[in-house]
Structure 1
Amino acid sequence: MAERLDVIIFGATGFTGKHTVYEAVQVLKDFKWEIAGRNKEKLNGVLREMGEKSKTDLTNIPTIIADISDEKSLKEMAEKCKILVNCCGPYRFYGEAVVKACIQAGTHHVDVSGEPQYMETMQLKYNDLAKENGVYVISACGFDSIPADLGTVFLENHFDGVVNSVETYLETWEAGGATGGCAVNYGTWESAVYGLAHADELRGIRAKLFESRLPQLQPRLKNRSIIHKSAIINSYCLPFPGSDRSVVMRSQRIMYENEKKRPIQMKAYVGFRSLIVTLGVAVFAAIFGILTRFSFGRNLLLKYPKIFSAGMFSHEGPSEEKTEKTRFSMTFYGEGWPKEEKLAEPTDQYKTTPSKTIITKVTGKNPGYGATCVALLVSAVTVLKENDKMPGNGGVLPPGAAFAKTNMINELRKYENGMQFDVVSIKEKSVE
């Protein structure tokens, strides 16, 4: 059998795929990689376009023809590489066939899904088989789950004690503009529509996937009011509707089960500087939620994304100028106890309130494509270079659990469209 390539980028002609090809020029410069998709002409077009943008000759990068509807082509593609970077979403419809082909071929797999139903179904159906075949399948390897999950790992690593709870606050804005803008494509909108429409599926999936609950540790981290003013970021906040919390809590469960580590409680919020904008987003979210319940409502949302998202989403995708101007910050507020107060067992209950706090941040630019694509590729490289530092010998994992003991956070800092992880403050407070 011929020696395998290091990386194949599948779905390279899509919006996320072609930006991943652009970032691969730097991130994969020391690796052998190819691109794959359904149409050879379009694949060559991506290589020309991204070659011109990066001022690099990419004509020597081979192309592979593979189609989601052709199981044989997927298996043949997977057998050619050590790790497959899957950019072909929505993963609810197109993800499982690729995961299955990778596990059969003994090939690692990473993607940028933010779809809890897909991610948790893959863990339910394929975790044991992935372990048997020594394959890592890792989803949520982009914005915003990489900042949330690895950001929680970063916070705990710098806490020097026992973390009880973490609250995250996401802000996005255009350079020189107001908060609240984030340049993302139609595929993300489509995933959100179907994800919310079928949210009830999660209860049944989780009942099978998680046979027991995590320990109910005290003090409990309560939900804040739907609209509240946060002193942490000096902004008005709403509950964040994405998959961040589900991804982080899956990592916490795996660490608890594998390492007997006290699980961290987590809540996620999104912040806006204007109360009027916050109220507007809340109204939009309510309308969006109602429309996803009905087929005619979903059709409206999918047909007219620009109208129902106030211009944030469209079939054409965001402009290059808008993506380059977009910035993000995710602020973490953690509470817990100093290391001197660590208890013997992870399920032991503290008799005192948390006496130590920490604030950290993850920041970057171009979250939808720059930061996402860099994070996706750095995830792939980390699996190739540091799988001896990853849990077990394989499995279907979230990124925090997969990469907690690797050097991935430092690797993300190296790239222009990477992410910066910083400690803002650590304080110990008096306990009455």
Structure 2
Amino acid sequence: MKAQAEFDIIVYGASGFTGRLVAEYLAKTYGIGGPVKWAMAGRSADKLAQVRDEIGAPPETPLVVADAADPASLAAMVGRTRAVLTTVGPYQLYGSALVAECVKQGTDYLDLCGEPNWMAEMIKAHDAAAKASGARILFSCGFDSIPFELGVFWAQGLAREKFGHPVSRVKGRVRAMKGGLSGGTAASGRATMAAIQANPALLGVMISPFALTPGFVGPDQPRGDKREMDEDLGAEVGPFMMAMINTKNVHRSNALQGHAYGTDFVYDEMSVIVPGAPTEFTDMGGEDGPKPGEGPSLEERETGFYDLLFIGIDKDGQQVRGSVFGDKDPGYGSTSKLIAETAICLVQKGGGVAGGVWTPGAALGQTLLDRLHAIAGLTFIDETA
């Protein structure tokens, strides 16, 4: 990690839909010249200035011009900050050079990636070099996959309290969710599908729960691709669209913690099917879906929420139950707070975290859980009977 730099955090992509929300959150929560030194970055100084004014950020908010297609501008940006928080996706199209530059300069990197094919490639290419340079590379710092990674971490903590040891089986269940999809998320999905069509071997990465744990494959995992009755819930459950990325990150988190949940750990995610209740994102895109730069309205973000349950099951059938509740729509209202506070936590509280490619929960653990619970709208509840 860098000890000193001009900025603590540069928000790269601040004129895009999600980056704008991150910058707005930082401006309203921390201002300029306060405890967090941050700047807005993007391709156009004029567009950044316009967004700065529209979100009510102070006129002295620093603006940094950088372009994924201009290596020199990326290198200059990376050199000015302790951490780059990037919302410029799809990351498989626009993120590789930035990761490489952060690794080279020992600068921390955080993103919102839900593209496992690219993440697997980056782990293979850069984990060793990041360990050497001290750069902490944190993928998936939004709704995918922090509430799920920390939900499992929370449930395992409850299991240790109750049983004296972690459990080898955790079920993640989405009880309710209301929110919208942005054009950036839709574009990431399309880029991943295009990559698989161009290289069918990537389908194996997408399917394997252990695609992000190089050198380790655990036991068979539930497929989660069909509706079924969950006897532990007394309710019908069905496939959850984000399970494919979240389960990979949970297994990587376990591995990065020295298999704290065991090498026999089994985890799946499914949505509880409640007729008439919101259990999914409202719009999954397609050709008529939102375009990059578009996304849910302020009202949709403010009225959105999510309610997740994690059931830890011991070998004798005893259970712990921990839930995670998010107070804004998952993809944007909540995600913008999650990545901003994770970045602050990393640069201000993560001094003991070594370089390498991390998951947020494995890197920052209880410190991050406590911070998000206190100030980022996540509520962690013990529902154990």
After TM superposition, the score normalised by the length of structure 2 is: 0.85
**Aligned-residue offset at 1:83:** 0.6
Using the alignment, how far apart are the partners of 1:231 and 1:15 within structure 2?
41
Q: Name the stretch that deviates more: 28-37 or 109-118.
A: 28-37
SS at match of 2:217: coil
Counterpart in the other structure of 2:171:
167
Match of 1:332 among 302, 310, 318: 310
Matches within 5 A, 1:187-266: 187-199=184-196, 200-201=201-202, 203=204, 210=213, 212-216=215-219, 222-223=222-223, 226-230=226-230, 236-242=236-242, 243-256=245-258, 261-262=262-263, 264-266=265-267
**Aligned-residue offset at 1:145:** 0.6
Question: Judging changes above 3 Å, is the alpha-carbon distance between structure 1 residues 147 and 88 closer, same or farther for their aligned structure 2 residues?
Answer: same
Identity %: 26
Q: Is 2:308 the partner of 1:304?
A: no
After superposition, the C-alpha distances for 1:342-362 in whole angstroms (9 at most, x for unaligned) are xxxxxxxxxxx4332011111
| Greater Rg by CA | 1
Counterpart in the other structure of 2:52:
47
Question: Judging changes above 3 Å, is the alpha-carbon distance between structure 1 residues 263 and 127 closer, same or farther for their aligned structure 2 residues?
Answer: farther
After TM superposition, the score normalised by the length of structure 1 is: 0.77
Counterpart in the other structure of 1:430:
none
Counterpart in the other structure of 1:396:
357
Matches within 5 A, 1:111-126: 111-126=111-126
Using the alignment, how far apart are the partners of 2:12 and 2:238 within structure 1?
35
SS at match of 2:137: strand
Q: Is 2:346 the partner of 1:383?
A: yes
Question: Judging changes above 3 Å, is the alpha-carbon distance between structure 1 residues 171 and 23 closer, same or farther for their aligned structure 2 residues?
Answer: farther
Using the alignment, how far apart are the partners of 2:374 and 2:45 within structure 1?
33
Q: Is 2:382 the partner of 1:420?
A: no
Q: Is 2:325 the partner of 1:363?
A: yes
Question: Judging changes above 3 Å, is the alpha-carbon distance between structure 1 residues 169 and 108 closer, same or farther for their aligned structure 2 residues?
Answer: same
What is the aligned length?
Answer: 365
Counterpart in the other structure of 2:299:
321
Q: Structure 2: which 5+ residue stretches go unaligned?
A: none
Counterpart in the other structure of 1:345:
none
> 2:176, 2:278 within 8 Å by CA — same for their partners in 1?
no
Counterpart in the other structure of 1:11:
13
Question: Judging changes above 3 Å, is the alpha-carbon distance between structure 1 residues 277 and 380 closer, same or farther for their aligned structure 2 residues?
Answer: closer
After superposition, the C-alpha distances for 1:138-196 in whole angstroms (9 at most, x for unaligned) are 010001310000111111112122211111112444xxxxxxx4212011112123324
Using the alignment, how far apart are the partners of 2:233 and 2:251 within structure 1?
23
Using the alignment, how far apart are the partners of 2:234 and 2:211 within structure 1?
41
Question: Judging changes above 3 Å, is the alpha-carbon distance between structure 1 residues 326 and 260 closer, same or farther for their aligned structure 2 residues?
Answer: closer
Counterpart in the other structure of 2:158:
158
